[in-house]
Structure 1
Amino acid sequence: MRAIFDDISLSVVTFLEAHQGVTDVRFAESPPATSVEIDRWHRSHHPVRLPPDLENFYLMQNGLSLKWRMRFNGEILPLGNMHVNSANTIEKIDLSQAVFADGATNSHHNVGFALDSTADGRVVLVFSKDLAATRVYFQDLSSAYNFVCDTFTEYMRLMVMHLGIARWQYAFTKCGLPPSSIQWFRLMSPERLHLDLRHSLNPSLKIQDEAPASAPVPKGSSQQQPRTSDIDFEKIEKTAKVSRSRNKKKHKKSTPDLLTGVSQAESMTSSAQRLARPGSAPGRRPPGPGTQQSPKMAGTARLEHDRRQEPRGSF
């Protein structure tokens, strides 16, 4: 029976035994209920009949008990308990004075049966008024009935996913998981804890996938409220481009452009060539008004003046 349960429960027993902090995993072998026992139950509670999934479970094994403990600070603590009452020990529950947290009234429900009374509360399979449908509720210590799921199969899946950790059913109540259970879930099943807190009915425990919006700033106040949001990589890239563009402009103002300096030098050279005397050596500038001539040039000018003043004879 243990191998069959481990197979249909996605190897939960193997997982617990392999966990380094878990010890003393105990699976109580329970023989399957006989068809005679199932018929006797139906006759005793006529006209109520077990739902097909619960009846098939009892025909496979008559009840469930899987307990495990945890090593912590040198102590061994009882922590996990997956339990389903046998067909012989299911207790009938009177729902005439029941208070349902989901707003359902007693007119919608007729009778219930306790699936598990070992938790800090009671897990009850509740039948509808016409006995055609069932729902699973958890009666907490305040005696309020909190909706858990629709069928027994769904309840078994939830119990396995929560590893039977103590008080896991309180995830479906208005008060939510107690702090001690939250700490154990962080260690044993953080993924399941995230789902429970995400859908928690307790606003102080509820978490969201998206960052909460910032509170509005009161009128007349210049103080900005802190805001938490996702990183905007596109905005960061735009800001970086603007900053790089500003740095380039500053660099141009402080350092002359090499090409501009070369063009200015070429322009000055062209002007000097235009002012030079025709036939003069390239690159040599003509003397200005106040420029003193060299001795060679002065002697040449004096000789030319004397030749002009000599008397010319006639033939």
Structure 2
Amino acid sequence: IMNKKLSPEDAFYENLTLGLTKTLSNVPRVCNVNLERRQPLNTCQVVNWEQRHCVYLPEDMKKFYLSTDGFVLNWSYQYAPNDIRCVGYIHFPHLLQVTLLRENIENTYTGLASASSSSLSGATNSAAVVKDKWDNPVPIITARTKIFEINNVNEMAKVCMLYDSTSSNNPRFYLLELATLSWQFLAETFSEYLRMAIAHLGLPYWELCFSSFGLPSWTEQLFLLLAPHLLEKHELRRGRVINPACEHPYNIIDPNIFRGKPKSVAKVPANSSKPHNK
């Protein structure tokens, strides 16, 4: 079985997801692991997106979209013999779906930011740095900030890509908590955010591990069943880079894989079902 040669496309997705489909297939009660493959974008489509929004995509994110226009991976969990539910979900949107947050919301953030900065004007520079729950600096939203929505997490939070200004091409990734409009740092780069999604196995709402309010209880139960190490106070995660423990060797992405996607992509197999839209 080990001799089975992967097609170039299979090898690309295997490398992109760090072998996650194989890892999940070996987990008891996990079934129906499905990866929706997508055609790559061409350079013109990426440049059009950049020109429309007056920003440059970071290099790793650009290579990703020139290799595959996002992807969806989902899986089911068998709670009982006749109770199988689709719960696992990793979603990287089509580039066209990466959109600016609505203008009125951005204005609200700007107002909040200016209010907080004016209230801190008398403080020293070191004291003026606002930190999130995990002691990471909270972004300072100004008129030059560009905020793009990457994912909506259970209508409770949004994963956002923040550019400090249009001249920047190294946006950071944050979780915006919708109830309080507060920010929690997620990742320094697109590659790190992708690594985090994979390291968390696509467990439902995994991003909420890094929120101030935590996971829904049913999701936490799944974490405890399948990956209890991910709930251990995230001490490794706080160091910015997910350090691969030897028993979890699927945390490292080689950026060179993005160049390995074959030009002509094979058709999606007929037996690959469409994922749910939730």
TM bracket, shorter-chain basis:
0.5 to 0.7
Deviation of residue 105 (structure 1)?
A: 2.6
Q: Does 1:160 align with 2:184?
A: no
Trace 1:1-315 onto structure 2 (pairs within 5 A): 1-46=9-54, 48-73=55-80, 74-93=82-101, 94=103, 95-98=106-109, 101=132, 102-107=137-142, 110-117=145-152, 119-120=154-155, 121-129=157-165, 130-142=167-179, 143-196=181-234
| CA gap 1:41/1:28 in 2 versus in 1, 3 angstroms | same
| 3-state SS of paired residue (2:95) | coil
Deviation of residue 3 (structure 1)?
A: 3.4
Residues 132-184 of structure 1, C-alpha deviation per residue, up to 9 Å, x if partnerless? 43110112341433211111111011100111111111111111233222221
Q: Work out the CA distance in 2 between the residues paired with 1:8 and 1:168.
A: 19
Q: Work out the CA distance in 1 between the residues paired with 2:194 and 2:75.
A: 17
Q: Work out the CA distance in 2 between the residues paired with 1:38 and 1:5.
A: 21
Deviation of residue 125 (structure 1)?
A: 0.8
| 3-state SS of paired residue (1:125) | strand
Which ranges in structure 2 are unaligned for 5 or more consecutive residues?
Answer: 1-8, 114-131, 239-278
| 3-state SS of paired residue (2:64) | helix
- The answer on whether the counterparts of 1:80 and 1:164 sit within 8 Å (CA) in structure 2 is yes
- The answer on whether the counterparts of 1:68 and 1:81 sit within 8 Å (CA) in structure 2 is yes
Which position in structure 2 is the counterpart of 1:304?
none
Deviation of residue 195 (structure 1)?
A: 4.5
Residue type of the alignment partner of 1:138: L
| TM-score normalised by structure 1 residue count | 0.57
Residue type of the alignment partner of 2:84: I
| 3-state SS of paired residue (1:146) | strand
Whose helix proportion is higher, 1 or 2?
A: 1
CA-based RMSD of the aligned residues comes to: 2.4
| CA gap 1:119/1:30 in 2 versus in 1, 3 angstroms | farther
Which ranges in structure 1 are unaligned for 5 or more consecutive residues?
Answer: 201-315
Residues 71-101 of structure 1, C-alpha deviation per residue, up to 9 Å, x if partnerless? 1033112211101111122111243323685
Q: Work out the CA distance in 1 between the residues paired with 2:143 and 2:21.
A: 38
Deviation of residue 26 (structure 1)?
A: 1.4
Residue type of the alignment partner of 1:52: E
Q: Work out the CA distance in 1 between the residues paired with 2:231 and 2:172.
A: 23
Q: Work out the CA distance in 1 between the residues paired with 2:173 and 2:218.
A: 25
Q: Work out the CA distance in 2 between the residues paired with 1:172 and 1:118.
A: 12
Deviation of residue 2 (structure 1)?
A: 4.5
Q: What is the percentage of aligned positions where both structures have the same residue? A: 23
Question: Which stretches of structure 1, 4 residues or more, deviate above 6 A after TM superposition?
Answer: 197-200
| TM-score normalised by structure 2 residue count | 0.65
Q: Work out the CA distance in 2 between the residues paired with 1:36 and 1:149.
A: 28
Deviation of residue 118 (structure 1)?
A: 5.7
Residue type of the alignment partner of 1:72: Y
Q: Work out the CA distance in 2 between the residues paired with 1:152 and 1:69.
A: 26
Deviation of residue 198 (structure 1)?
A: 8.3
- The answer on whether the counterparts of 1:108 and 1:128 sit within 8 Å (CA) in structure 2 is no
| 3-state SS of paired residue (1:60) | coil
